[in-house]
Amino acid sequence: MLNPDFPFSYDHYLANDAGLGSVPESLYGTEVAVIGAGLSGLVTAYELMKLGLKPVVYEADQIGGRLRTASFAAAPQITCDLGGMRFPVSSKALYHYIELLGLDTYDFPNPLAEPTDSTVIELKGQKIYVEDPADLPVFYQEVADAWKQALREDAHFEQMQQAIRDRDTHTIKALWDSMLEEFDEESFYGFIANSKAFKQAGFEHREAFGQVGFGSGGWDTDFPNSILEILRVVYTDADDYHRGITGGAAKLPEALWNHAPEKMAHWPAGTSLSTLHVGAPRGAVAKVYRTSNPGFNGANTIEVTERFGRTQEFGAVVSTVQSWLLSTGIDTDEDLFAPELWTAIERSHYMQSSKTFVMVDRPFWKDRDPVTGQHLMSMTLTDRLSRATYLLDNGEDQPAVILLSYTWNDDALKWLSLSAERRMELMLHSLEKIYPGVDIRSHIVGQPITVSWESDPNFMGAFKANLPGHYRYQQRLYTHFDQQAMAAEHRGIFLAGDDVSWTAGWAEGAVTTGLNALWGVVQHLGGADAQANPGPGAFLAEIGPKAL
């Protein structure tokens, strides 16, 4: 995902044998606090360890954060991904770790995608069944064409994709920076409604576009967000060519926690994050305050206090929690950040998300109806309350899983107060209307599993999504890792995690911001880049996000 805001090739940076920098030997074993054991915190901690530093990871709940995999009690080998579940192959920094850790992946069955046997689109009571996207009725082809036309005419789509493919950073920046100011004021819906393509096509096409969307499904719940957020997704193919992680997304953070790198400064062979922490991270952080004791780079040290009272002082702290939690979940010294950064943190806008899964005895949906010849059930997109239903096959000899409903924003909030059982009942009610002859219930085994990320006190929702006018906040949050020009009282704490990334909602942003924080910590402690492999901070002035 060569992001247009900062087209730095993180994959090349990671693959370079020269490594990600070094710190003076006198600092080997120096402890650095990492708050949050999600993907971002673990990538930062893993790389800090490789440089000979000692990451001290704090976690309020489970290792893995929003890469959380649950298992069905009746058959624990059968799993479902409650957070991230499908990873675009353009996430090259993410795949660096997936491959390094030897994880298996599989083609994810998105609507109309290659590995998906069949897709049903049911809008306004009209049901369409297709096995090949080419068989979609003309109306849907027109909807897809209008979107392509709008991107081509109004957002330099082809030139931008070509420049990204060529890693032509100067063209990427020139195109993006020419659109930034205008598009920062525009919502996704405004972009669609104002485009010549959709104006000509008419409201019904806009409506169907919102319900059925592109790539992974309907996008109308994203309509209020800034069009910049959507362009970042489509330019980088983030919404296409998805793969899942075999055994569940949580395999990735688990592997990072347990892996002993081959090449490491200072630490003996066999050292992993797990061995450094004697098997478990520290507990939830309750308080982060500056001390009056001198630390590094002209800044005083920072004291981290756990919920149950343990306190420790650090020269550098990386926070990967969703940023609003620094106001609500953690007592954070106000002086740690400049007021403009607090404004950016406070304005963070979050997407809600809800998923409900059931386990079924077998992938019965693959059976064909003897009369129509169609699969009994298909990957389903509908304007009914279930919105998107995914069929997740574990092979003929294993129980299968149905993600009955995957919803966002308003659609997700509508489920918030309902129990798992009630959610399941309502979702089955929708599906029974779409598939009247199919006895879905008779295949369900055990209890449903449901999640609403916004109801968990350790998260603010699924992930951040900027509204129109938020670019300036995002620019401040993202570039905060470069602290050279910052006042001493604000140095030494680094923000990472997909909240501060340009591609919130994609695990790639958690990885790349973790690498930014690593770079910031190394500089803060008096270390340096490898000469043959300058890190992200070295390129900020040249190709960094434009300040508006």
Where on the chain is the footprint of ligand FAD (CB under 6 A)?
Answer: 35-41, 58-61, 65-67, 83-87, 284-285, 320-322, 325, 329-330, 353, 453, 458-459, 462-463, 497-498, 505-507, 509-510
Q: How far is the CB of 86 from ligand FAD (least distance, A)?
A: 4
Secondary structure of residue 147 in the 3-state scheme: helix
Between 130 and 234, whose beta carbon lies closer to ligand FAD?
234
Q: What is the 3-state secondary structure (H, E, C) of 313-359?
A: EECCEEECCCCCHHHHCCEECHHHCCHHHHHHHHCCCEECEEEEEEE
Q: How far is the CB of 24 from ligand FAD (least distance, A)?
A: 29
Q: How far is the CB of 505 from ligand FAD (least distance, A)?
A: 5
Q: How far is the CB of 495 from ligand FAD (least distance, A)?
A: 10
Instruction: List the one residue out of 305, 295, 323 whose CA is nearest residue 483.
Output: 295
Residue 547: Cβ within 10 Å count: 9
Between 331 and 393, whose beta carbon lies closer to ligand FAD?
331
Q: How far is the CB of 325 from ligand FAD (least distance, A)?
A: 5
Report in angstroms the alpha-carbon separations of 447 from 71, 365, 388, 399, 441: 11, 20, 20, 14, 12
Instruction: List the one residue out of 243, 323, 375, 365 whose CA is nearest residue 500.
Output: 323
Q: How far is the CB of 33 from ligand FAD (least distance, A)?
A: 10
Phi, psi of 155 (to 5 degrees): -140, 30
Instruction: List the one residue out of 360, 364, 316, 344 whose CA is nearest residue 490.
Output: 316
Q: How far is the CB of 253 from ligand FAD (least distance, A)?
A: 8
Between 66 and 476, whose beta carbon lies closer to ligand FAD?
66
Between 130 and 255, whose beta carbon lies closer to ligand FAD?
255
Between 207 and 306, whose beta carbon lies closer to ligand FAD?
306
Between 40 and 119, whose beta carbon lies closer to ligand FAD?
40
Between 191 and 459, whose beta carbon lies closer to ligand FAD?
459
Between 376 and 462, whose beta carbon lies closer to ligand FAD?
462
What are the residue ranges of helices labelled H in 72-226?
Answer: 92-100, 138-155, 157-165, 169-183, 188-194, 196-201, 203-212
Q: How far is the CB of 106 from ligand FAD (least distance, A)?
A: 14
Q: Are 349 and 505 in contact (CB under 8 A)?
A: no
Please identify which residue in the block is written with the tokens 């007021």: 339
Secondary structure of residue 473 in the 3-state scheme: helix
The 10 Å CB-count burial string (b at 16+, else e) for 235-267 is bbbbbbbbbbbeebbbbbbbbbbebeeeebebb
Q: Are 265 and 501 in contact (CB under 8 A)?
A: no
